[in-house]
Amino acid sequence: MLGDIRGALILVADTLRDPTAVAGRIVARPASRGTLWSALALVVVLSVLLVWVTQGPMAIVLPEGTIDVSPFTYALILGGILVTMIFAVNFTGRMVGGTGGFGATIALVAWLEAVAMVVRLMITLVSYLSLPVAEILSILGLIALLRCLLAFVNVLHGFASMWKAFGVLVLAFFGMGLGLTILLALIGVGAGGAMP
């Protein structure tokens, strides 16, 4: 158990240091769709638990203001964002000549969220000691995660240019914005920012 945790933390550190190499390792180790979706679901649950334990009541920020949501609703939103990202990154990349498989996309998005979860945990722990340092780490963490995402997309679709991967992400984020809007409407977050 401790060995597995230590191995996972080492892989997180490797990802932040050399995301291209780790992405290549993940893509080269195929798994069944069922296993990959289960891994994604587990990461979502762990992320929600982390937020609940470290921050207490959960909330989402909308243009109309901030509203409180239940852990279940928060999990639906986070899961919806990740699933939308999977479809958007895979479809957009293939649309411009990428070769990324759908299973590999699930694996990379799930692992990216796992890395983000560890980064958030470290920032939270640092915030108990120094808020200014935690704020600086938040900015650096965001930059590091965006770098990882860019490298993941580049490896996933076999692009020879990070700029092409960047273009895919721009298009994918537009699609994710539309998908998230539909998701929020389906779970009942209306224009007034209230839950039913």
Q: Is the dihedral of CA 78, 122, 31, 6 positive or negative?
A: negative
- Tell me which H or E stretch contains 195: none
Kindly state whether residue 19 falls inside one of the protein's structural domains. Answer: yes
pLDDT digits over 111-125, tens only?
Answer: 999 999 999 999 999
DSSP H helices, the chain, are: 2-17, 19-27, 33-55, 71-95, 102-127, 131-156, 162-187
The model carries a pTM of 0.85
Q: Would residue 195 count as lying in a domain?
A: no
pLDDT single digits (tens) 22-65? 999 999 998 899 999 999 999 999 999 998 888 777 766 666 66
- Kindly report, residue by residue over 36-47, the tens digit of the pLDDT: 999 999 999 999
Select from 144, 36, 132, 14 the least CA-distant residue to 90. 36
Decide if 85 is inside a domain. Answer: yes
- In contact, 187 and 72? CB cutoff 8 Å: no
On whether residue 192 sits in a domain, the answer given is: no
- The domain total for the chain is 1
> Whole-angstrom Cα distance, residue 65 to residue 189?
12
Any bridge partners for residue 58, and if so which?
Answer: 69
Tell me if 76 is assigned to some domain.
Answer: yes
CB 23 within 8 A of CB 57: no
Q: Which contiguous run of DSSP H or E holds residue 63?
A: none
**Inside any domain, residue 102:** yes
Domain of 93 in residue numbering reads as 2-187
**89 CB-contact burial (10 Å; exposed 0-12 / middle 13-18 / buried 19+):** buried
196 is a domain residue: no
Q: Does 54 map to a domain?
A: yes
What does the block give as tokens for 75?
């999990």
Q: What is the rounded CA–CA span in Å between residue 78 and residue 113?
A: 10
For the chain, what is the mean pLDDT? 86
